[in-house]
Amino acid sequence: MQGSANLNLMIKAARKAGRSLVKDFREVENLQVSSKGPGDFVTRADREAERIIKQELMTGRPTYGWLGEETGETEGADPTRRWIVDPLDGTTNFLHGLPHWAVSIALEHKGEIVSGVIFDAAKDEIYWAEKGTGAWLNESRLRVSGRRAMSDAVFATGIPFAGRGALPATLQDLARLMPACAGVRRWGAAALDLAYVAAGRFEGYWERGIQPWDMAAGIILVREAGGFVSAIREGDDPVQNGSIIAANSALFEDFRKVIRGE
């Protein structure tokens, strides 16, 4: 697999963490029937995956900064570069034995996401992209969907739960979008939702109230596959403000108008 030294380091770290998570996932499936459930076990699996990734990346690039879902933010000696890592995106799917989760690793340079890796270890699909060199699934080049009609388009999103997230706004989004499109999916992993937009499987994705590590790697994948990404509110930055709209080039403006209520 061609790519820069940083990308190859990211892929090595993602695959090593993915191997650990696949082993733990098999145990989680067995724990579904236990009265206590696998909650604590999944927390340990999540933290072990981030430990593996952090060891690989910070050994290879000790001066870079760090932002990880489990271990938080650490300033680096190099203030221009930062790893942004979700060791297990789709945690609730993992907890319930649903094989739709991923390791997500992104590299940010001077505030811009310049490379990303998303590893769906359960399906052995690794998505990767570097600025200016395209988006890839394993060894195949990715392009966003060519569909041009909203009525033919399938979109993905995240739906608030347990009192978290922007429920009224999301319900308004759904009320506006559902009559205009061919379907909406909620598969529970933002990183894979964005990877699927880059792969042309979804025409678009949006979500409110998610974290930088949920979206960072997926942003560069969508852009390098020919799609567009923005925040929901005009002028916001998706990574900084926690809301995101992503779609293929043909539908991006129409989709964004629907979500913005324009």
- Exactly one of 86, 130, 173, 224 binds ligand LIP (CB under 6 A); that residue is 86
Rounded to 5 degrees, what are φ and ψ at 14?
A: -65, -45
Residue 91 found at the interface with ligand LIP (CB under 6 A)? yes
- Torsion, CA 240, CA 243, CA 248, CA 254, rounded to 10: -130
Among 43, 9, 45, CA closest to 25: 45
Residue range at the interface with ligand LIP (CB under 6 A); choices 73-81, 113-121, 207-215, 222-230: 207-215
Question: Which lies closer to ligand LIP via its Cβ, residue 115 or residue 170?
Answer: 170
Find, among 57, 60, 84, the residue nearest to 72 by Cα: 84
Could you say whether residue 207 binds ligand LIP (CB under 6 A)?
yes
DSSP 49-93: HHHHHHHHHHHH-TTSEEEETTTEEE--SSTTEEEEEEEEESHHH
> Which residue is at the shortest CB distance from ligand LIP?
158
**150 sits near ligand LIP (criterion: CB under 6 A):** no
Q: Is 158 in the site for ligand LIP (CB under 6 A)?
A: yes
**Per-residue x/- marks for ligand LIP, 172-201, CB under 6 A?**
----------------xxx-----------
| Residue span binding ligand LIP (CB under 6 A) among the ranges 12-20, 134-142, 167-175, 206-214 | 206-214
C-alpha closest to that of 188 among 103, 123, 100, 122: 100
User: What is the C-alpha separation between 91 and 208, in angstroms, rounded?
Assistant: 18
The CB-of-78 to ligand LIP minimum distance in angstroms stands at 26
CB of 86 to ligand LIP, least distance (A): 5
Total residues interacting with ligand LIP, rule: CB under 6 A: 12
Strand partners of residue 135: 129
Reported as type and span, the H/E element at residue 5 is: helix 5-31
The region of 82-90, 111-119, 228-236, 246-254 touching ligand LIP under the rule CB under 6 A is 82-90
Give the span between the Cα atoms of 116 and 104, in whole angstroms: 8
Binding site for ligand LIP (CB under 6 A): 69, 86, 89-91, 158, 188-190, 207, 210, 214
